[in-house]
Amino acid sequence: MSSHLRPALSAEGLLRTLRGHEGSIWALDFGCAGTVLATGGRDRTIRLWQMPHGQPLRTFQAHEDWVSCLAFNARSDVLASGSEDTTVRLWGVPDGSFLGTLRGHDRAVRCVAFHPTQDVLASGSDDQHVCLWNRRGGRPMQRENARVGEVLALAFGRCDAVAPSGAILAGGGKGGGVMLWQMDEAGRAEEVQCMGWTSGPVTSLAFSSDGQLLAAGGEAGLVQIWQARRADALYVPIRTIQAPAPVWNVAFTGSGRVLVSGGGDGAIRFWRLRDGAEIRVLKRHVTSAWGLRFSPTGWLLASSGTGADSEVNLWWVLREKPLAEATPQDLEWVTQSLWKQAGTATEGEEWSWQLLEALLRAKFCFDIALDEPAVISVGEFDIEIESVG
């Protein structure tokens, strides 16, 4: 038995380009278990897209000025947006219903992030403050001087080694430095650490999925990695990477072994954290690769551009380990599904998506050995079924 099935993917792993915004796209985030992507930008609108096909779901006028940041809550039923108009607004998902305006900042809101388990939202602003909100009122329940200048980046993580309650908030800004706050069970923040930074504004922050690693990217192209140390409940620096262009966004892969950065040269770079080596570059954006988010499954990466590059790109990303093992019965089911869909599919791209969806439903991903003498190998750009008997 031997078969070779090749989806219609570009040599770079580009799946699809989404267009509809006018001007720079400053913000994006995945919600609803990765089935919805929200984008916002200079045209003051928010757009919701169905994943992975990229069909437009809804467009709504969101703010009186640029949409600068977006974040879904943990349940994905609320989307928060921040704007140059100094407000944070809340939207129901998926209908886009307006839920309210949060007022507490005096200048542009640059970043928003939801607590991983509580209904608490953090926002950062050019007014150099971080505000914490709940949905029961329109005023902040806590307002902290961030001590990093204009606040450009916020990220929540979960790490028992540093925060007994399990949640920690990181903030970075134009003045340099990264601040850490421990979150209590009431959703209030207490400052626990100020980490040094010597290379200009901190533009982006990201925690690994287990909260053990924290990454910061900066305008000078510096990427700094810290690791949680249980002995003194602090994050300590473990690696520094110098990118060739300003770093506007960073994101960890699911394993935490690779960091992805979006740069001012339009490139998306993959860095192996073990030695800091650059292992892959994706180049599509003509100005800056500003927004950067992985879907919850980790196989889809979304990036957005600025300036004349008003598009969102969806990339197929190679997973680093198998998702599941399969049985011969699974193989029979997926084979029947694939050929059934092939008989009704349109040409080219649609067949590729149907193939991909069938494999995902069957939990087939990347070098999954079967009990019978056959192996399904899913590479970055193809799927191969090969007899080993």
Per-residue pLDDT of 198-237, as tens digits, reads 789 999 999 999 999 999 999 999 999 999 987 777 899 9
**pLDDT tens for residues 242-276?**
999 999 999 999 888 999 999 999 999 999 999 99
> What is the rounded average pLDDT of the residues 274-299?
91
pTM for the full predicted model: 0.80
* pLDDT at position 232: 74
Position 55 confidence tier, pLDDT thresholds 50, 70, 90? very high
* pLDDT at position 329: 58
Residue that the structure tokens 């607590």 belong to: 115
Position 381 confidence tier, pLDDT thresholds 50, 70, 90? very low
Rounded to an integer, what is the distance from CA 362 to the centroid of its chain?
25
* pLDDT at position 323: 41
Count other C-beta atoms under 10 Å from residue 219's C-beta. 19
* pLDDT at position 162: 76
Q: Is 14-316 assigned to CATH 2.130.10.10? A: yes
Compare 159 and 318 and report the one with higher pLDDT. Answer: 159
> What is the rounded average pLDDT of the residues 341-362?
50
**pLDDT tens for residues 6-53?**
333 333 488 899 999 999 999 999 998 899 999 999 999 999 999 988
The percentage of residues in the chain with a pLDDT greater than 90, rounded to a whole number, is 61
Q: What is the DSSP string of 370-386?
A: PSSSEEEEE-SS-EEEE
* pLDDT at position 239: 95
Would you give the DSSP letter of residue 232?
T
Domain residue ranges in the chain: 14-316, 322-387
- What whole-number distance in Å separates Cα of residue 321 and Cα of residue 310? 34
Contacts of 291 (CB under 8 A, 6+ apart): 25, 26, 27, 28, 39, 249, 262, 302, 303, 304, 312
- What whole-number distance in Å separates Cα of residue 382 and Cα of residue 10? 11
* pLDDT at position 347: 47
Q: pLDDT at residue 302 above 90?
A: yes
- The pair of structure tokens assigned to 245 is 């262009």
| φ and ψ of 357, to 5 deg | -65, -40
- What whole-number distance in Å separates Cα of residue 131 and Cα of residue 209? 24
Contact 172, 113 (CB under 8 A): no
- The pair of structure tokens assigned to 213 is 């690693």
Q: Is 263 exposed, middle or buried (0-12, 13-18, 19+ CB in 10 A)?
A: buried
* pLDDT at position 237: 93
Contacts of 332 (CB under 8 A, 6+ apart): none
Position 152 confidence tier, pLDDT thresholds 50, 70, 90? very high
